[in-house]
Structure 1
């Protein structure tokens, strides 16, 4: 691999600042690494590792990742790469020399003896593997840099636990850990309602069984089909499948209409029924007509006592203070006004219940 061309002092300072920024975006702490419980990610037996290794070879994943390049993954002359932390990060890790099988074994053995430099070298040489796996998990709710950060945690855990004497390449072993930590992050962070990891794993089991049965049966399987296929209690299947229901934002744009959100299609429960509005308008019109047949003092007392025409409901004493008469006189005027209104309603063939 030929050396990189020299840069000016200004360019070197600019690169250093950008590298520090992109490194911060994908940095992980020791507490984050330790948060990946070994109980959540089961150690694979040799047979499973062999299957992963075979799959990697068939898909040529290693060839795609581990071809050293003398140029950045994105053009070095692209000004956007200096501003985009993701592109800058990918450019930088593209220049890290890759390891041969012999170098992996040597570094792993040194690492087992506590060599921190060997650990750092092993991690940096495999960062591209994380990026490749993370890219395959895009569009599932997390940004690429977030996926890379989670994958890097899995890579670091794989470096700590890798045993070179098992006869497998490190990439084979690390792939499992990287995928599991990314999947774990997706399970944890992309649900509006968070569920325990073991519950999500069980839900995923039922989802996979449902997809398989749909393919085999040629129809959507029932909970009974899934329970019979997995030999699980049907009550458990129904409960877990119920937990798989997803929430969505009411502001999300509908797939069939780019101009409308889900909120635009919901019924406004606070909007009154049009027929009720018409009835209320008709009642108010009649009340105004009936009140107009009372004396001014009777009308004022009724309005204040019953809160009509925007007035606050008031006590007898409060109404007396407003119009300058005694509490008892207000009571008498109210009785007179109500009698007058009853007479008006009877004359029009209505019951006083219309006012209730």
Structure 2
């Protein structure tokens, strides 16, 4: 199957290619970029009978026969074209949708078991749609609009249900965009979701990607985007007062709290918390201070803890 089908999700639109030959039958497909010719070619591929399909599936399953895989894939390419056509309303290239559907078809062929009592066409539909759905969700917007299972279900059903409401509109208002409260309740009931989720998804679908910080135009004029109108939180009055209070505590407050300590405690706190050498290293370690004062390192740690507790109390009173 190495020359039978070769889609990749990374190839840009217009450069996708599906080409190959069906063993035993003369057939060469045009590149997917020539979409009309490709669709015409796959529609001329003969379908497999039930017996031929089961024989090919068993050869693939039992003997890893790639020619059999090629038969199964090629005979169902028209199914991919038909399913991909249903998703043209999302604004993505038809060729890309077919390409992703072909990937799903190959996954279905690889996992298909002929002894389960179903035809490959029924089994493959799930895999083809799943691959196309994933592609649409990744590429429809820069930011994903649906992440949970309920949101994905809403995303792929809300558009068609909305079009159905417009077609049935008794007042003739087929151009009304927003759903009414009654229509939202109907959608929520049919899809088993909350009305709030329907409203949120409708808002997401109605929106689009916005560049926060656009580049200057070609004529050199400066462009303004939403980022130019965002508030600077650092100059908000409350934030400025809090920043000034922190600075006061870090200077006057610390100096007053240090004044509450005895000389030894003040020296230990300074060495352990406040001193920074030129090379970026801190002050003395517990063991170095213990050697200097002739006590154990644990005793120095206890003095440090008591001094810090006393300083917190002094800072709370100062604040």
TM-score range normalised by the length of the shorter chain: 0.3 to 0.5
Output the TM-score relative to the length of structure 2.
0.45
Task: With the length of structure 1 as denominator, give the TM-score of the two structures.
Answer: 0.41
